[in-house]
Structure 1
Amino acid sequence: MFDQYDDARRAVQDLEASGVPHRDISIVANNARGAHKADAVASEAGEDAGKGAGIGAAVGGVGGLLAGLGLLAIPGLGPVVAAGWLAATAVGAVGGAAIGGAAGGLIGALTHAGVPEEDAHVYAEGVRRGGSLVTAKVEEDLVPTARRILNDDRSVDLTSRRAAYRNEGWNGFDAAAPEYSADEIEAEQERYRRL
């Protein structure tokens, strides 16, 4: 999880540069502020994802994962830009596919991929509050490299963020909760920049 989209974008680029195929990387980033635009390729990827197809397959060979960002809406998160296997699974879960995890959507996709449900709730809440989530499926020999990239000093410490959310009275991601506005996201981002 990254608070800043640029940090998530750099993590995706670093993963690709380290040899992780872009089809095995996913990014889901809040777009309530409308900062991220989709191009023609991305729009096609988003349409394919809505049909349950893999976004990564739709944009394969186009110059990396980030070239295939699609605009999507995921319940509880609102508008996001997304690409990769996780986004396709989340959209499939929203569309009624059988995915594990009671909440469906992003939480269902994460738990289906093996992320503990408690962590999946924090990740979904982080995206809801303006963050960007990068995930990767990697071969065993690339695990240390991927962990180093995804856990560097730009990323969010999940334990600390969970504690901060709980200190506010948060108990878990609620897909029925109102989406954060652009102003609320900016205030949230500013608060975590100061921590």
Structure 2
Amino acid sequence: MVQTVIGVFNSFEDAERARSRLESEGISRSDIEVHSSGPRDGLGLSGDATARSATRETEVDRPHEGPLGGIEHFFKRLFGSSDEPEEVGNYHEAVRRGGALLSVDVDDETSIERVRDALYAEGAVDIDSRVAQWRSGGYTGYDRNAPAYTADEITAERKAFPVVQESLEVGKREVLTGGVRVYSRVTETPVSESVNLREEHATIERRVVDRPATAVDLKEGSVEIRETAEEPVIAKTARVVEEVVVGKEASTKTQTVNDTVRGTEVDVERTAGTGDSPAARSVDKPPL
């Protein structure tokens, strides 16, 4: 049994992108139709001969109805003239307010899920959320006699107020806070040491004697006496008595950074209904 999946998009261009994606995923172009209220768009912009024929019939044989009338005929073909669900009027209203419908005919359950995922990914809007916004501005139901929105009205309804929030990002960088420089140089310091020095001197002593001389006393001879003296000898020995080790050690500390971040808040104030439409809002993954 053939089933029809319908997605609502903010613009004809968004619906066209969704159609291109569906075609790239294997959905036949003849099974896809795009409907919008733009002057270049009408019922059955699927590119096949049957759809183009239907478009010409909408524009030539029923010129007084315009593209919105063509969409009504699409739903009548889909549901019949008497069994049309109540929410179909909301789809008419979405097109009247500048949106676009994309319908896809599928004949198996697996293709339905694939088509829905593709429409979600290309920005299909949440029609229930969109209708709730319209109702807050006085919308009570689709009026087929109401004119289509102008470009200025579409822009005004979809005006967006960005909500901005700054975030504080704390990093760190290395800065030079000082240091040490170590020099090695030779110094001279006067010192004194005491040392005992020994000296040897020859002594001559003459003594008066009175004894008979012998042959030994009459021999010639000589005696040499050497005189000696000690003198200081200086030697230096260098010894390492201390080492100065140069390095650095790391430590950590926790510092709390205080600052202010800016942001914007959007306040919504309800006003009395005047028949005008509030700004529209899209949801990331709407139900179809």
The one of 44, 50, 53 equivalent to 1:48 is: 53
**Residue matched to 1:188:** 157
Q: 1:124 to 1:139 in 2, by over 3 A?
A: same
Aligned-residue Cα RMSD (Å) equals: 3.8
Q: 1:134-156, CA deviations, whole angstroms, 9 ceiling, x for partnerless residues?
A: 01011213111101112336111
Q: 1:122 to 1:189 in 2, by over 3 A?
A: same
SS in 2 for 1:23: helix
Which structure would you say has the larger Rg? 2
Tell me, yes or no, if the aligned pair for 2:126 and 2:282 is still in contact at 8 Å.
Answer: no
Q: 1:18-57, CA deviations, whole angstroms, 9 ceiling, x for partnerless residues?
A: 11111111101221xx577xxxxx7x9787225659xxxx
Query: What are the residue-to-residue correspondences of 1:144-183 with 2, within 5 Å?
Result: 144-152=113-121, 154-183=123-152
Tell me, yes or no, if the aligned pair for 2:158 and 2:280 is still in contact at 8 Å.
Answer: yes
**Residue matched to 1:60:** none
SS in 1 for 2:87: helix
Are 1:8 and 2:18 matched, yes or no?
no
SS in 1 for 2:158: helix
Number of residue equivalences: 149
Question: Quick one: distance in 1 between partners of 2:19 and 2:282?
Answer: 25
Using the size of structure 1 for normalisation, the TM-score is 0.60
Deviation at 1:79, TM superposition (A): 4.9
Structure having the larger proportion of residues in helix: 1
**Residue matched to 2:95:** 127
Give ranges in structure 2 of 5+ residues lacking alignment: 1-7, 42-46, 160-278, 284-288
Tell me, yes or no, if the aligned pair for 2:130 and 2:280 is still in contact at 8 Å.
Answer: no
Using the size of structure 2 for normalisation, the TM-score is 0.43
Q: 1:188 to 1:30 in 2, by over 3 A?
A: farther
Question: Quick one: distance in 2 between partners of 1:74 and 1:149?
Answer: 35
Question: Quick one: distance in 2 between partners of 1:25 and 1:133?
Answer: 10
